[in-house]
Chain A
Amino acid sequence: MSTQTEETRPLAKKKKKVPFNYSPYVRGGKLPHIWCPGCGHGIVLKSLLRAIQLSGLSQDDIAMVSGIGCSSRTPGYVDFNTLHTLHGRALAYATGVKLARPKLKVIVTTGDGDALAIGGNHFIHACRRNLDMVVMVYNNSIYGMTSGQSSPTTPQGTTSTTGRYGSIEPTFDTCKLAQAAGATFVARGTAYHFQELEKVLHEAIMHKGTAVIDIIDACPTYYGRFNKYKTPTEMMEKIEKEGTVSVKQAEKMSPQELEGKLLRGIIHKSDRPEYLDEYNRLLERVQKK
């Protein structure tokens, strides 16, 4: 495993046709995972591990932090420095880990409820600070672990156990929220477009600053069942494939055609001082005096 840091290594090209070996990244004896059949979280995890391998990061140099929920069980399965925290608080814990150990690449795995409901305040402030970390929001529009309640990304009109007659609440757009709050890398991927997701995650890891990736994923067990999707495949096709368009495709589409579709790919990238860089400059300044 290379110990080269992300700062010095350019975006690498993936080697073709070499079977990917996941085993070094997976903790022995911790599988099978708890995710339901048809859930996309496993696909997202595979894309992430491939992106990490591509980035050349050593497993010792990665800290994975999560909150509570289905997505947040991810750190238990992978062989990094891992921290499974409290509901909604992953970003605050991650902030502590990163500040105490700047050499670590911090990757946060969180869900739509975890990041945007209970953790909403931490989410906007993490984006505002622009501390170097990757925030993966596994967005399946529902609370999976507590069995199917509405979340801040549940589409209006759809059914959940707490939205029995159709949710009347408007939904958050994770990407718009992240961008408005100041994240310097904002992207969206889906479990369906797993190769695209791998690329996006790779770029997010290479980015210095807060990188937020909204990952559209489907929960067949609850969201699918309540909203009359017959199979996980049908769900994936309707929500992830037909419900999204790539940034490139979108350029050629009219506003009418784009209605109801989410953009996919890197949506926003800006160059703003990273928090630790700023903090180190502050240290230099005050220590000179």
Chain B
Amino acid sequence: MQGNEACAEGAFYAGCRFFAGYPITPSTEVMEIAAARLPKMGGVFIQMEDEIASISAIIGGSLGGQKSMTATSGPGFSLMQEGLGFACMAEVPCVIVNVMRSGPSTGFPTGPSQSDVMQARWGTHGDHPAIVLTPASVQELFYETVRAFNLSEQYRMPVILLYDEIVGHMREAITIPAPGEVEVIDRARPSCAPHEYKPYDTYHGDVAPLAAYGDGYRFHVTGLYHGADGFPTNNTKLIEETGQRLLRKVDNNRDKICKNEELYLDDAEIGIFAYGVSAKSAKFAVKELRKKGIKAGLLRPMTIWPFPENAVEELSKQVKTIIVPEMNLGQIVYEVERVAQGRCEVKGVLRADTEPIKPAQIIESITGNGFFTASSKMSELMVDRDMLDG
């Protein structure tokens, strides 16, 4: 099964029955599969006139009570930013898939890239929370899509699935779990009397239950700063409090939201911090380095936002160097530098020519050019095979 297909399947498993989208490479297959499968499940599929309309429609769909999703790439993701901000402000659960391609602008549509990580965090204006997941294989894409829906329902906010073209178009055999095998979380619904309902009431915590339009709870939703009742406010104290609460929803639950994979980290002297497809190369590189007696280890975040600060901090205390391979001209490497605070060296291994970062490039950054022997060249070739079988 292809990555994009696994993403759509994960969404259906999680209970997504509403998809609105606009075609764009390399994300289009997610939409095409939704178009084929949703009508059979009695769900809603609609092709909208553009990406702005797509995210708007899924927010409307979510307020109508359906778990909703859209999928896009680079320029389409840029267009969705305003709607993303609305979903943050109005606290509407939804999932946005961004299969990254290189940019800015039309860029290179058919090649992979990891250059939207900062846009995924800060693309929309204003202070706002962000949950961004970075799966690295087809099977993981399935599980992480389910998790994206769960997090979005749990914290009442948009969640972004961020992966690159290689993960999206990679084919791997996957197992789709039986219904009930993987936990599926639904948003909390109000149980109070309709006239008592306040859509942003924080009485029970930072996340209020969300009614659906048409369920008898008549409520107001706006993109303006609002009070507990959902109506616009000019009250400066309330505006500050709402802003803080939005951030707090994620900050206070960092440990529950963050998810990392660790490889050979126990005794590592050199740490590699890699996400998405670059982590596949990094994994291979770590194994190769270990064979050469170099104590390298991998920290792979499956949640890139909120940034896994604790894990990176620990790593920075332990190792001499953290290598950050990414397919852009420097984005997450600065975040690692920020957290490391000079405790160790931080080195980016960057590439933005739409070719994946190969293990050899990572190994070279650690050992220098003299490292390569004939067998190492072999390993460079083996990389591509490794990528295929995960």
B359 CB, nearest partner CB in chain A, Å: 44
Within the complex, what minimum Cβ distance (angstroms) separates A280 from chain B?
Answer: 10
**Chief secondary structure at chain B's binding surface:** mixed
Contact A89 B61 (CB under 8 A): no
A140 to B44, CA, bound (A): 36
Question: Which residue of A is nearest B211, CB measured?
Answer: A81
Does A60 belong to the interface (CB within 8 Å)? yes
- Assuming the contacts A76-B231, A97-B64, asked whether A92 and B48 have C-beta atoms less than 8 A apart, the reply is yes
Complex Cα–Cα for A82 and B63 (A)? 10
> Among B214-222, B242-250, B271-279, which stretch is in contact with chain A?
B214-222
B61 and A104 contact, CB distance less than 8 A:
no
Residue contact B220 to A76, C-beta cutoff 8 Å: yes
Q: Which residues of B contact A75 (CB under 8 A)?
A: 220
Asked whether any CB of chain A lies closer than 8 Å to the CB of B223, the reply is yes
| Interface segment out of the listed B50-58, B105-113, B168-176 | B50-58
Are A81 and B219 interface neighbours, CB within 8 A? yes
**Which residues of A have CB within 8 Å of B60?**
65, 83, 92-100
B221 touches A83 (CB 8 A): yes
Chain B residues with CB under 8 A of A125: 48-49, 53
Contacts of A85 in B (CB 8 A): 56, 59, 86, 223
B40 at the binding interface (Cβ < 8 Å) = yes
Contact with B along A67-93 (1 / 0, CB 8 A): 000000001100111111110010011
Given contacts A86-B86, A93-B56, A287-B42, contact A100 B61 (CB under 8 A): yes
Inter-chain contacts of B40 with A (CB < 8 A) = 286-287
List CB contacts (< 8 Å) of B43-79 with chain A: 44, 46, 48-50, 52-54, 56-66, 68
A61 within 8 A of B: yes
Q: Which of A89, A92, A122 has the most CB of B within 10 A?
A: A92
Asked whether A96 and B218 contact (CB < 8 A) given A121-B49, A286-B40, the answer is no
Q: Which of A81, A85, A99, A100 has the most CB of B within 10 A?
A: A100
Nearest-CB residue, chain A, relative to B44: A99
Q: Tell whether, in the assembled complex, residue A286 and residue B218 are in contact, meaning their CB atoms are under 8 Å apart.
A: no
B192-222 interface with A by 8 A CB criterion = 212-214, 216, 218-222
Q: A83-B63, A92-B52, A286-B39 are in contact. Are A97 and B213 (CB under 8 A)?
A: yes
B42 touches A89 (CB 8 A): no
Decide if A101 touches B220 in the complex (CB within 8 Å). Answer: no
A66 closest partner in B (C-beta): B222
Pick the contact of B53: A63, A89, A104 (CB < 8 A): A89
Q: Is the CB of B218 within 8 A of A79?
A: yes
19 contacts between A and B (CB under 8 A): A27-B220, A60-B214, A60-B216, A76-B220, A80-B218, A81-B213, A89-B56, A89-B83, A92-B52, A92-B56, A95-B46, A96-B56, A99-B18, A122-B56, A125-B53, A282-B39, A286-B39, A287-B39, A287-B40
* Further pairs besides A81-B214, A82-B218: 11, Cβ < 8 Å: A63-B214, A76-B220, A86-B82, A93-B60, A95-B57, A95-B60, A96-B57, A96-B59, A96-B64, A99-B46, A100-B61
Residues of A participating in the B interface, judged by any CB pair closer than 8 Å: 27, 30, 59-61, 63, 65, 75-76, 79-86, 89, 92-101, 103-104, 121-122, 125, 279, 282-283, 286-287
Q: B interface vs A, CB < 8 Å?
A: 18, 20, 39-40, 42, 44, 46, 48-50, 52-54, 56-66, 68, 82-83, 86, 212-214, 216, 218-224, 231-232
